[in-house]
A and B are shown apart, each in its own frame.
Chain A
């Protein structure tokens, strides 16, 4: 059929008709019941409260069985959640019960982050369900729903008011899960104190805008009882798994030296009310609320975050596919842009470092040149000095020589005189001496001297070294 035809049909009014005979579709609820029974039910409870306040005991009492639980220690570093799943059966109805315990809640010295693990856990369960819903091939039919249907918040029976931690935590949880506050260990508060305590708690919750779960009053069958129960919130409960003999019955109770507190006695505590409300009357409503209100809220926020909208600015309904495509393109475009940016940055950085390196190189080079020049300067200076020194040495040497020659020439002059006197003295034997002299002279090289004085001066050294031969007769 064409799309236009369907539109035409839906505009027709629905008409009420009366049946002529028994058709049989009044068995629809029965079919539903049998179907649900075969499918089984699923219920998830979250217990939030300080260590040792009686969460495990209350669970044991509520479901009349012993879930295996060890005592938790007070010295955990942080809060962590411990979910346990059990399969229970009553008549032919199967119940998959998950109890989530908060371990370490309220034990730390700094409790500012205590609520975070709880909120994260709840969100994770919603997220898992959302993922399952958005899958292409999904099986919601068989899906094990782990979303928390109810949170039982255990309040310590101080008798004054809520603790600051309680207030902060409940405020964070009230938009995510159905909260029912209960007063734990209520056998420590007397009746009058209890009344005042309850009023105080409710007024504090109201004045701080905490939305706790209100039992529904729109269905006539249960509206009356629910309305009256609403007035009894928060329930003051006592839990016990021990059996005590009272009168001629054995009931679950706590035995004290001064009396016996019976768990199922309405005048002792509100346990029976809690059980009625939680399990017998409103379990289904709790599941509904979780799905219809809390989960839808989460889903809406999450999808809006991702950018989906129900309607266009032009009020045309969007199709999911188109939105997907648009988102994808946007995302890819973003990625590319980021890549470009990063590349640019990288290139810029490289350039910068290169420039720096070049600068440094130049500087080094300059320094080297400078040092070299200095070195050469120094060398030159040293050379000069050396030359000066050499000159001085030469000058000194010459002077020395001059001085020596001067000193030698003086004694030779005396020699000459001596020789003359020898000649004159030894005229007779002069021939010998003169021959000696002659001999000495003969050894002398011919000189180009004008006068005999000059000749003598020039050959002073040579005469010194001449050997005097005994001049004999020629």
Chain B
């Protein structure tokens, strides 16, 4: 899934990543039409193949995010979509015929942060907080060709601090095993220090230093997309496709989906308990409904209070006796 305001370069980056052109006949809206725009969810599915390995890739686009003048709860359609996919998978899993389950769950969300500001904006924070328990979020700094290397470093530090401050759980790269070779560990460390990635996207081929490369042509120079010193595009591509794709899927299955599933079941049983006014019929769940729990707590506290009162009285009595 790609999310971010209009004009951040999401489509260009997706095209660059997968070396295809997914957005041929796209119609962009005018500013006037966008004043009250709502967020849509558009899915593009492609089947790509490389050296015999097939990959069914689904890109979920979110046009309209953050474009309207009033962006209250503009992430709601996105969270609804993710929940829907989880629900569908949940149902399929609990069904009778489990051979052909289609996994439409969102494995990764690339969030594009605009480079024009001094850090995260309120809408960025709210969006990430609404989604960090449902999907792996990878924040990216979009259009990084407007920042000098110093500025990029400052901005990355700023964003990392703010992510920590607001308690947003972005996708963490897994720790590499201690028996991996040094080079791999070094790469891994570099990768972790580089987040959030500052990316530049381009699908146009230009001539630079005698080679034909993908890049952007400026009067003052050429920005090469695949040049590591220009931007982190290569790192992102390696991480996303070559090394961490499976881990992203695993985390989605093991963590986010299980969270969703547990929540769902808990809601179902609590509703049942409330309807039938009796104890939950499923003994597996250790959690009781909140009402029963609080009552127990209250009783316990009452007893404690009584005991304390008695003790106090006794002590007072003793003191009284001693004085006499």
Binding site for B on A (CB under 8 A): 50-54, 71-75, 107-112, 114, 156-168, 184-185, 187-188, 190-191, 204, 207-208, 254-262, 267-268
Cross-chain contact B221 with A52 (CB below 8 angstroms): no
Bound-state CA distance A51–B115 (Å) is 11
Bound-state CA distance A73–B125 (Å) is 14
Contact of B221 among A71, A111, A259, A267 (CB under 8 A): A259
Bound-state CA distance A75–B118 (Å) is 11
Cross-chain contact B69 with A184 (CB below 8 angstroms): no
Name the segment of B88-96, B100-108, B142-150, B280-288 touching the other chain: B142-150
Cross-chain contact B146 with A208 (CB below 8 angstroms): no
A–B pairs, 9, beta carbons within 8 Å: A107-B121, A111-B70, A111-B71, A163-B6, A164-B32, A164-B34, A188-B146, A260-B220, A261-B220
Q: Which residues of B contact A256 (CB under 8 A)?
A: 145, 148-149, 220-221, 223
| Known A50-B116, A191-B217, A204-B30; further 15 A-B contacts with Cβ < 8 A | A50-B117, A52-B116, A53-B117, A108-B122, A157-B116, A164-B34, A164-B69, A166-B31, A168-B69, A184-B116, A188-B145, A204-B31, A254-B148, A259-B220, A260-B221
Known interface pairs A187-B145, A204-B31; A74-B220 also in contact (CB < 8 Å): no
Known interface pairs A111-B71, A166-B31; A158-B221 also in contact (CB < 8 Å): no
Known interface pairs A163-B34, A164-B69, A190-B217; A107-B148 also in contact (CB < 8 Å): no
Contact of B35 among A164, A185, A257, A267 (CB under 8 A): A164
Q: What is the distance, in angstroms, from B57's C-beta to the closest C-beta of chain A?
A: 25
Q: What is the distance, in angstroms, from A261's C-beta to the closest C-beta of chain B?
A: 5
Task: Please give me the residue from chain B that is nearest to A159 by CB atom.
Answer: B7
Bound-state CA distance A161–B30 (Å) is 7
Contact of A167 among B5, B32, B119, B148 (CB under 8 A): B32
Bound-state CA distance A255–B151 (Å) is 11
Q: What is the distance, in angstroms, from B23's C-beta to the closest C-beta of chain A?
A: 13
Cross-chain contact B8 with A158 (CB below 8 angstroms): yes
Contact of A74 among B72, B121, B126, B221 (CB under 8 A): B121
Q: What is the distance, in angstroms, from B258's C-beta to the closest C-beta of chain A?
A: 31
* B52, CB-defined interface residue at 8 Å: no
Known interface pairs A107-B121, A108-B122, A254-B148; A165-B32 also in contact (CB < 8 Å): no
| 8 A Cβ contacts from B95-136 to A | 114-123, 126
Q: Which residues of A contact B123 (CB under 8 A)?
A: 109
Q: What is the distance, in angstroms, from A255's C-beta to the closest C-beta of chain B?
A: 6
Contact of B122 among A109, A112, A158, A262 (CB under 8 A): A109
Cross-chain contact B118 with A52 (CB below 8 angstroms): yes
Q: What is the distance, in angstroms, from A57's C-beta to the closest C-beta of chain B?
A: 11
Q: Which residues of A contact B122 (CB under 8 A)?
A: 74-75, 107-109
Cross-chain contact A163 with B31 (CB below 8 angstroms): yes
Known interface pairs A166-B31, A257-B230, A258-B222; A160-B6 also in contact (CB < 8 Å): yes
Task: Please give me the residue from chain A that is nearest to B67 by CB atom.
Answer: A164
Q: Which residues of A contact B216 (CB under 8 A)?
A: 190
Bound-state CA distance A51–B68 (Å) is 18
Q: Which residues of B contact A73 (CB under 8 A)?
A: 118
Q: Which residues of A contact B28 (CB under 8 A)?
A: 160-161
Bound-state CA distance A156–B5 (Å) is 12
The CB with the most chain A CB atoms within 10 A, among B68, B117, B216, B227, is that of B117
Interface string of B10-41 (1 = CB under 8 A from A): 00000000000000000010111011010000
Contact of B31 among A54, A109, A167 (CB under 8 A): A167
Q: Which residues of B contact A257 (CB under 8 A)?
A: 149, 227, 229-230
Cross-chain contact A190 with B117 (CB below 8 angstroms): no
Known interface pairs A160-B6, A208-B32; A268-B219 also in contact (CB < 8 Å): yes
Q: Which residues of B contact A51 (CB under 8 A)?
A: 117-118, 121
Bound-state CA distance A397–B31 (Å) is 115
Nearest 6 interchain pairs by C-beta: A259-B221, A158-B7, A188-B146, A52-B117, A259-B220, A162-B31
Bound-state CA distance A190–B220 (Å) is 10
Known interface pairs A259-B220, A260-B220; A156-B114 also in contact (CB < 8 Å): yes
Bound-state CA distance A75–B125 (Å) is 10
Bound-state CA distance A111–B66 (Å) is 11
Task: Please give me the residue from chain A that is nearest to B37 by CB atom.
Answer: A164
Q: Which residues of A contact B114 (CB under 8 A)?
A: 156
Cross-chain contact B146 with A157 (CB below 8 angstroms): yes
Task: Please give me the residue from chain B that is nearest to A74 by CB atom.
Answer: B121
Q: Which residues of A contact B143 (CB under 8 A)?
A: 157, 188
Q: Which residues of A contact B69 (CB under 8 A)?
A: 110-112, 114, 164-165, 168
Bound-state CA distance A396–B224 (Å) is 132
Q: What is the distance, in angstroms, from A240's C-beta to the closest C-beta of chain B?
A: 9
Q: Which residues of A contact B145 (CB under 8 A)?
A: 187-188, 256
Bound-state CA distance A256–B114 (Å) is 19
Known interface pairs A158-B6, A187-B146, A204-B32; A71-B220 also in contact (CB < 8 Å): no
Contact of B219 among A53, A111, A114, A267 (CB under 8 A): A267
Bound-state CA distance A50–B122 (Å) is 13
Known interface pairs A162-B31, A185-B146; A268-B117 also in contact (CB < 8 Å): no
Bound-state CA distance A208–B33 (Å) is 11
Bound-state CA distance A186–B259 (Å) is 45
Cross-chain contact B230 with A110 (CB below 8 angstroms): no
Contact of A110 among B32, B35, B71, B146 (CB under 8 A): B71
Cross-chain contact A71 with B118 (CB below 8 angstroms): yes
Q: What is the distance, in angstroms, from A198's C-beta to the closest C-beta of chain B?
A: 14
Q: Which residues of A contact B117 (CB under 8 A)?
A: 50-53, 74
Q: Which residues of B contact A53 (CB under 8 A)?
A: 116-117
Q: What is the distance, in angstroms, from B34's C-beta to the closest C-beta of chain A?
A: 4
Q: Which residues of B contact A191 (CB under 8 A)?
A: 217-219
Q: Which residues of B contact A166 (CB under 8 A)?
A: 31
Bound-state CA distance A51–B6 (Å) is 17
